């Protein structure tokens, strides 16, 4: 029980202090989450293009592994809508839905994603998730919600359909709408309407009956189970299966199978990028929920250990017939609200699902797929929030562009293109901004040792000295910009003999910027202008001393700009700039 | 002749002032460059996997178009080694060498690349080239040089071979080495040795003969032409073609053909990424040469207009049976040294090549491919410079990592993987650094209004106020880091009532950072801690005013940190920090 071991096994920390109060809170939460998770698991398996039982399998071993390795006390792990959609898109590229190859590809995707998450966690690379800007995530989740809802319409209508983009799905629905099955539509539309009503209207109604709060909580989460029970019973009694209502059919009864992902290079290669995107999106979604819930109780989440927890969960999914999983938003909130005290709530949920897997699957033989589609549609429409477009439009056109591109490409080209483009646009916009850093020509505030921007302050300058302050670290994206700026200034001020680069805000000079400084030095030397630096930070100076730059420098490195100007100054009568401050002189 | 038109047509500017002195300088340079360009054009066509005459075609229309649209007075445009290698790699993926489809794909690649360059130029996106850090470019060029040299060995040995990566090429050479052709090896090795000698030894020798400098210059560039003449004559005379020496054979005589690139969506889609990479690499290589040469005469290059010039050149290549072109390093230097005064030197070079294309092609029927391979090997080995590994290792491990990955992936996986990975690693390292911005807890320097880092200075602080200065713009990559830092500080200082974020170095707050500020504000509110800002820059404040943040803010926005602390201060006896400055108190 070394500190190092308990860092990687959070269960050793909380497990050793587990008490009765924790147990009772965790048990109540587990019952509620199990009731919620059974229909969700079946539905998200359907969304991922897999047999319904895989949804239950994907909720057992992964939850237990997260209990051991995860740091969030409230996170409920399992299949979630967006990741299931991404699974369908990725696996659909390499295998035909319904084949054995499809299931193996889904396992492989979970295994790859788990390995990547473990790798990122062990090497503490969780910061990578920060490269997804908040608006891009919001846009992606909204667009995915729309895609998912539309993808389920075919089950509500009882028709064939397909496609991984909005135009494909709509065209496919249009082509097949002739096959509309009326009994399916009645069941599906009825279940959808009922579930929407449950979201809004059931809890207040139950509270009026005077039932205890705990019972109200459990019952208000049982809407999907009730919808499943009623529509299954109706389908069985009225023989709707023979009237064209698609039913789940025989679902194997038993423990999750032991499975192995494929190691075929072609398959692994084709799934690498999707696995990476699923890992990132899954992690970002999960960590946001975990941090929000932890903050409410002043608990802390360790993002790198969370990567390990989610990685272990996905490896578990790959070995037990599942598909990629992550921490779900709505069910984690339910888990938290229901009083989950520790990760053990997850273990009890897994036990509940195991019972379901062993004994309850025959009961869902007549379950209409339309009911599962209804639970998905109602769940994902709560993710859709187009207001992000308006908010970013008002706040920042650059963020708006990133969101708009993400939403448009997700809907038009699919989830992978959408999220990739969103990341790329976020990064490009940032690089564009930092590639044009703020620079100011400075002069001395008369009577002081302070140097300020000549455009904003009334300051003294000299014809033979240019003092340029750069307000950003120098690196490859802005190195050329600095070169251009200095060459322009020197070309426009023929009397100049000295250029002083004032570096108080330069935290870094990378190799590209070093080469630019060398180029500036060499080019100014050809023009008989010396090049000086001032106010260089210690770590930057240490690094410059490891290069040949300082020995080639035509000028000096000064501790302060004041020292630089007084040392180099030859002109007894400095000019006063026409800064804004000068207008009233 | 509006100013706007002459911006896009630099020829209108320099053409109107063209004089006799320009003409004579340009003519001499054109003769030398033509002599140099004929063997290079043939050789790079071979490298690109195309018939030799396409190399000449790719040097005529593109040069003329660059003369009209380009801004560099010395740049010599045409096929270059690295871009030809990238062309071979890209086109080899979609078509079989030697087929009509291969030539069409090469045209299409040039057309796509031209369209992209024009797009970037018209929308003034030349700054994108800055995202390739100098060390990554150096590593990529070096690795490409090695790949190119190895790819040509099969022609020197007279054997079959292939592959786009170093292991593939070496394995292919190993498999086929049994077919070694001795006459080819003698010709190839002899030509290589001769050309290496020409590089080093010919010019001093010619100078000793007392020939005029101009003649020395022309003759010392004529080494490749001489090698071609001698080996071609030897092959013809001794019937080496029948003894297994691969020869160029019949080369069509005539004007460059008018051609159209393909618009087939599959082909265009497959070539999009390679075309982008070729555009970027070609532009970066070209602009570096152009800027270096322009600086020597204090001329200026307009990078966005250069994009238009190179874009037009590539569109020209696509329409006249060529393949992707750009400004070449060695031939531009030769052009400059030979006295080229204006872009017209290019037009005269094109005329020279047109003459070659019309009349000289029958002369190269017996030209051994081994000779062309020798000219390529000698040219590209001058690009190989592994010292970049040592220099970056000493200067910065991050830059070293980027270079090493670029070189390793270029050699091991090919040019596209190498340059993509280099760009990605450069950007990731930069984002990693800026995702952990420098932040300092600050306190007041006693007796002043200055606030400094408590770790470095002897300053006054108060238990109920935390003042945090952030030395970087706030954006998505560092927003979460700021949140974590503030939550940690508040958790460790229970008496705190106020958190003041000091923002003098914050040039930007993007939407993600705004959401983080909102989250910090809400979470501190739950803890009964108020959140304040100080020294917010004008443009940042303007933007914050467009959001709901300021109305939700539990604290205030202060003009200065001093004002903030004096307003919020309730403690009459501030503490003095244990900063480094305190040790001698």
Q: Which of B435, B473, B515 sits opposite A130 (nearest CB)?
A: B435
- What local confidence, expressed as pLDDT, does residue B204 receive? 82
Q: Is residue B270's pLDDT more than 60?
A: yes
pLDDT in tens, B131-158: 778 888 888 889 988 998 998 999 999 9
What does the pLDDT read at residue A576? 63
Least confident of A498-502, B348-352, B414-418: B414-418
Beta strands in A75-233 (DSSP E): 77-78
Instruction: Give percent above pLDDT 90 in chain B.
Output: 34
Cβ contacts of A433 on chain B, cutoff 8 Å: 473, 508
Q: pLDDT-derived band of residue B424, with 50, 70 and 90 as boundaries?
A: confident
Contact list, A128 vs chain B (CB under 8 Å): 428
Average pLDDT over chain B reads 86
Residue of chain B whose alpha carbon sits nearest to that of A298: B491
Kindly state the average pLDDT of the residues B501-521.
88
pLDDT of residue A584: 35
Residue A195 and residue A223 in contact, taking contact as beta carbons nearer than 8 Å: yes
Mean pLDDT is highest, among A104-118, B29-43, B360-374, for A104-118
Query: What are the residues facing A533 on neighbouring strands?
Result: A501, A557
Which one of A276, A512, A516 would you mutate to disrupt binding with B, by most B Cβ within 10 Å of its Cβ?
A: A512
Number of H helices, E strands in chain A: 26, 10
**Mean pLDDT within B211-231:** 81
**Sign of the Cα pseudo-torsion (A250, A251, A253, A256, in order):** positive
Q: What is the DSSP letter of A125?
A: -
For an interface test with B, the pick among A510, A514, A524, A543 (most B C-beta atoms closer than 10 Å) comes out as A510
Q: Is the pLDDT of residue B172 over 50?
A: yes
Task: Answer yes or no: is pLDDT of B404 > 60.
Answer: yes
CB contact under 8 A, A505 and B427: no
Query: In 3D, which of A372, A387, A378 has the Cα closest to residue A330?
Result: A378
Output the pLDDT for position A2.
47
Of A392, A479, A514, the CB nearest to B395: A514
Mean pLDDT of B162-178: 90
Question: H helices within A435-572, ranges in order?
Answer: 476-492, 511-526, 538-544, 549-552, 561-568
Q: Which residues in chain A land under pLDDT 70?
A: 1-6, 295, 298, 570-585
Q: Is the pLDDT of residue B116 over 90?
A: yes
Question: Shortest CB distance from A543 goes to which of B396, B426, B436?
Answer: B396
Task: Say if residue A230 is exposed, middle or buried (CB neighbours under 10 Å; 0-12, 13-18, 19+).
Answer: middle
CA distance B219 to A346: 82
Q: How far apart are CA B278 and CA A173, in angstroms?
A: 41
**pLDDT band for position B255 (50/70/90)?**
confident
Burial A172-188 (b: 16+ CB within 10 A, else e): bbeebeeeebebbbbbb
Tens of pLDDT, residues B280-330 = 889 988 887 887 787 677 677 788 899 999 999 999 999 999 999 999 877
Q: Which tens digits make up the pLDDT trace of A475-495? A: 888 888 898 889 888 888 888
Per-residue pLDDT tens over the stretch A527-553: 899 999 998 877 888 889 988 899 999
Please judge whether B134 and A508 are an interchain contact, meaning their C-beta atoms are less than 8 angstroms apart.
Answer: no
Distance CA A262, CA A100 (A): 12
Q: What pLDDT sits at residue B132?
A: 77
Tracing tokens 């071991």 back to the chain, one arrives at A5
Q: What is this structure's pTM?
A: 0.73
At residue A102, the pLDDT reads: 94
Query: Between chains, do B134 and A515 touch, taking CB under 8 Å as contact?
Result: yes
Gap between the Cα atoms of B135 and A103, Å rounded: 45
């Amino acid at each position: 029980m070394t500190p190092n071991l308990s860092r990687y096994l959070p269960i050793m920390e909380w497990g050793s202090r587990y008490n009765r109060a924790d147990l009772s809170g965790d048990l109540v939460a587990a019952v509620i989450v199990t009731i919620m998770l059974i229909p969700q698991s079946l539905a998200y398996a359907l969304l991922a293009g897999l047999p319904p039982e895989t949804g239950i399998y994907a909720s057992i071993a992964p939850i237990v592994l997260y209990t051991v390795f995860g740091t969030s006390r409230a996170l409920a792990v399992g299949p979630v809508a967006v990741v299931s959609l991404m699974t369908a898109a990725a696996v659909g590229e390499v295998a035909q839905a319904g084949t054995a190859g499809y299931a193996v590809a889904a396992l492989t995707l979970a295994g790859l994603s788990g390995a990547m998450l473990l790798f990122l966690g062990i090497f503490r690379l969780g910061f990578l998730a920060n490269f997804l800007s908040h608006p891009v995530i919001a846009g992606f989740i909204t667009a995915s919600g729309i895609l998912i809802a539309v993808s389920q319409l075919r089950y509500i209508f009882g028709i064939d359909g397909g496609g991984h983009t909005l135009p494909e799905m709509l065209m496919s629905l249009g082509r097949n709408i002739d096959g509309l099955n009326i009994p399916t539509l009645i069941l599906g539309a009825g279940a959808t309407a009922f579930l929407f009503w449950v979201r809004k209207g059931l809890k207040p109604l139950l509270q009026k009956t005077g039932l205890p709060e705990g019972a109200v909580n459990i019952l208000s989460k049982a809407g999907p189970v009730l919808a499943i029970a009623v529509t299954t019973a109706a389908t069985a009694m009225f023989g709707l299966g023979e009237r064209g209502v698609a039913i789940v059919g025989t679902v194997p009864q038993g423990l999750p199978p032991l499975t192995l992902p494929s190691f075929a290079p072609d398959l692994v290669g084709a799934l690498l990028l999707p696995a990476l995107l699923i890992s990132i999106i899954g992690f970002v979604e999960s960590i946001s929920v975990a941090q929000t819930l932890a903050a409410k109780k002043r608990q802390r989440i360790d993002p790198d250990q969370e990567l390990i927890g989610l990685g272990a969960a996905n490896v578990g999914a790959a070995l037990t017939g599942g598909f990629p999983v992550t921490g779900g938003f709505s069910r984690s909130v339910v888990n938290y609200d229901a009083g989950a005290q520790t990760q053990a709530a997850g273990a009890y949920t897994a036990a509940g699902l195991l019972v379901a897997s062993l004994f309850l699957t025959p009961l869902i033989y007549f379950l209409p797929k339309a009911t599962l589609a209804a639970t998905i549609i109602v769940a994902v429409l709560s993710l859709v929030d187009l207001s992000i477009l308006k908010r970013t439009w008002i706040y920042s056109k650059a963020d708006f562009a990133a969101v708009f591109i993400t939403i448009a490409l997700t809907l038009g080209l699919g989830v992978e293109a959408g999220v990739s483009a969103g990341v790329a646009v976020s990064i490009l916009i940032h690089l564009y901004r930092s590639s044009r850093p703020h620079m100011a020509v400075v002069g001395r505030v008369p009577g002081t040792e302070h140097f300020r921007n000549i455009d904003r302050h009334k300051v003294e300058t000299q014809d033979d000295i240019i003092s340029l302050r750069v307000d950003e670290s120098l690196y490859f994206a802005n190195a050329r910009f600095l070169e251009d700026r200095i060459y322009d200034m020197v070309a426009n001020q023929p009397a100049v003999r000295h250029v002083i680069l004032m570096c108080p805000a330069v935290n870094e000079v990378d190799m590209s910027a070093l080469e630019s400084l060398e180029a500036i030095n060499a080019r100014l030397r050809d023009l008989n202008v010396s090049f000086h630096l001032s106010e260089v930070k210690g770590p930057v100076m240490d690094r410059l001393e490891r290069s040949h730059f300082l020995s080639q420098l035509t000028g000096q490195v000064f501790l302060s700009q004041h020292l630089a100007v007084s040392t180099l100054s030859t002109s007894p009568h400095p000019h006063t700039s026409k800064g804004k401050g000068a207008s009233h002189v």
